[in-house]
Amino acid sequence: MRLDPFRFHVAAALTAALALAAPAPALAGAYEDLLGQLKAQGAGPFDAARGQALWIQDHPDPGGGPARSCATCHTDNLKASGKHVKTGKVIDPLAPSANPDRLTDAAKMEKWLKRNCSWTLGRECTPQEKGDVLTYIHGQ
């Protein structure tokens, strides 16, 4: 159907208005920010499957005790509660689907990655490893 000039211009104006009013992309949250920082350090692209493999990988205990992995305390089911291997304290699920507070606080994410990589791997995780693990957790 051909529009007369008036209607055409009205339609064009409306279309333009709609395009301009279209919502901006969602503001990045703490998780996206942190991944962005890791990319800025040269890491990426990130892969959940690699993160999962890292999660269950065993590492020796320098004190000679049983080997440990992330799953030692958190289990390999991130929707379930975990348990601190020494104190028995219950650890709330890591999966955002089970625990919406997860991956929303940058300071918390950095703190726990620093501590727990240090204890589990015997060193800090590389930016690539952090990104892969965070991507794995995010998808659960």
Partner 1 sequence: MRTTSKPLLWTGLLAAPALALALGAGVPALADDDDDEGGRGSRVAAPLDPRYAEECGACHVPYPAWALPARSWDRIMTGLSDHFGDNAELAPDTAAAIGRYLKANAADTARSGEARELGAARGDAPLRITELPGFKKEHREAAARAMKSKPDLKLSQCDACHTQAAQGSYRESQINVPGVGRWED
Give the binding site for partner 1 (CB under 8 A): 63, 84, 86-89, 107, 111, 114-116, 118-119
For partner 1, the closer of residues 9 and 111 by Cβ is 111
Report helix, strand or coil for 70.
helix
Q: Shortest distance, CB of residue 119 to partner 1, whole angstroms?
A: 4
**Listed residue (48, 79, 82) closest to 68, CA to CA:** 82
- Closer CB to partner 1, residue 30 or residue 48? 30
CB of 112 vs partner 1, minimal distance in Å:
9
Cβ at position 118, least distance to partner 1 in Å = 5
Nearer to partner 1, 79 or 89 (CB): 89
**Residue 68: which H helix or E strand, with range?**
none
In whole angstroms, the minimum distance from the beta carbon of 107 to partner 1 comes to 7
Q: Cα(74)–Cα(55) distance, rounded to whole angstroms?
A: 9
* CB burial readout 37-48, b (16+ within 10 A) else e: ebeeeebbebeb
Nearer to partner 1, 8 or 119 (CB): 119
Which residue do the tokens 């920010």 mark? 33
